[in-house]
Amino acid sequence: MEQLKLLAANEWRAREEAHQLRVGRYADPYLERRSAGRKHPVEDFLFTYYTQKPGQLRRWHPGAGTVLAGSAGEARRGWKHYRVLDDGELAALGLPAGSTAVTFDRAAFLADRADAVAFAEIILRGTAARPAQFGCFGLHEWAMVYRQDKFDLRHEYLKLRLGSEGTDQVVEDNRIRCTHFDAFRFYTPDALPLNEHLPTRDSQRHMEQPGCLHANMDLYKWAYKLLPALPSELVMDCFELSWRIRAMDMQASPYDLAGWGYPPIRIETTDGKADYVARQRGFAQEAAILRGRLAASLAEATGETTRSAKGEVHGEQGAA
C-alpha cells in the first residue's frame, strides 16, 4: 500500500510561495520582454526552446506520496494526475470523513505516461553509465552557422564575434565531436559531414553522455515532463542548472554577446579551451547529482524498488 504523508498547511504554503518567487525571478523578466516585443539570446531560451511554459512552471507540486488538504486540496481537485483520498485514507491520516484531500495519482500517471517514464529512465541511467567526454569545446554552436553566407543564415540581432570567415576557419581547424542529436540537427548542411559522430533520434538513448552540456541542460526537460510525480523544487534545481549551462554555452558560441553581459569564452584559443573544459567538468559534477536525484525520485514515484532506484543509478554514476 502506498505510504502517504500529510503536509501541514503552514509548510505547503511556505513551499508554494517560495517556489513561485523562485520561478518569478526568471519568468517575470521573460514575460515582460515578450509583452514588449523584445528578445534575449540567453535568458529567453528555457522558455522558448523547451515546451514548459511559465504558467505551468509556476504551479507548485509537492511530489508523490504527499497529501494536501484544505484549500490546497480543493485547488488541485481537478488537476491532472491528482486523486482525491478515500475515507479510509483520510481516517489513517486523522482527517474527517468527507473532507477534501488530494495526492499524486500514480495509477493514472503511469497509464498516461508509461512511454515517457520508460524513456526518461533509459536516458537517465544510460547517460550516467557512460564515461564523460570533454573534448567538444562547444563547437556545435559554431557548426550551426558554418558557411552561413552560402545558406543565407543570418541571426536577426546577433553578430558573429570573428565574422563569417573567421567562424568557418575555427570549424575547419578543430575536430567536431558532438554526441547530442538535438544540437547536431541544427548544423548547416556543410557542417554535418564534419562531425565525428552521427547522432540520430533513435540512437539518442545510446549516445547521451554526462559531459555534454546539452544532455545536462535536458535534465530540466526530463524533470518537468515527469510532473506532478516529482516535487517542483527538484524541477527548479534542474531549471537553474540548465539556466547557468545555457549562459556558458552561449559564451562559448561564435556570437558576440559582450553587450548583453556575457563575455566570450574564446574556445578558438588554448586558454579558452582549458577554461571551457574546466567549467564543463564542474557542470558535469552538478548534473550527476541531479541525475541521481531524478532517477531516485522517479523510482519512488512509480513504485520501483529502492535497489533499482538508488543502488543501480548511483553505481552507474560512479562508473561515469
| Domain ranges for the chain | 5-302
Residues of the chain above pLDDT 70, percent: 93
Q: What is the pLDDT of residues 147-192, one digit of tens each?
A: 988 877 666 678 999 999 999 999 999 999 999 999 999 999 999 9
Residue 318: pLDDT band with limits 50, 70, 90: very low
Cα 231 → chain centroid: 14
Q: What is the pLDDT of residues 251-281, one digit of tens each?
A: 999 999 999 999 999 999 999 999 999 999 9
Phi, psi torsion values for 298, nearest 5 degrees:
-65, -40
Cα angle: 185, vertex 253, 286; to 5 degrees: 85
Residue of higher predicted confidence among 315 and 54: 54
Residue 297: pLDDT band with limits 50, 70, 90: very high
Alpha carbon separation from 64 to 27, 173, 242 (Å, rounded): 25, 50, 24
Residue 198: pLDDT band with limits 50, 70, 90: very high
Q: Work out whether strand 101-104 and strand 82-84 pair parallel, antiparallel, or are unpaired.
A: antiparallel
**Cα end-to-end distance, the chain, whole Å:** 35
pLDDT for res 1: 62
66 in helix, strand or coil?
strand
pLDDT for res 152: 73
Among the listed ranges 159-168, 199-208, 284-293, 305-314, which one has the minimum average pLDDT value?
305-314
- Average pLDDT on 123-132 reads 96
**CA separation for the pair 282, 287 (Å, rounded):** 9
Q: What is the pLDDT of residues 52-80, one digit of tens each?
A: 999 999 999 999 999 999 999 999 999 99
- Average pLDDT on 108-117 reads 95
pLDDT for res 150: 81
Q: What is the pLDDT of residues 6-36, one digit of tens each?
A: 999 999 999 999 999 999 999 999 999 999 9
Residue 313 has pLDDT above 90, yes or no: no
Q: Grid coordinates representing 71?
A: 484549500
Alpha carbon separation from 213 to 5, 30, 235 (Å, rounded): 37, 23, 18
pLDDT for res 2: 76
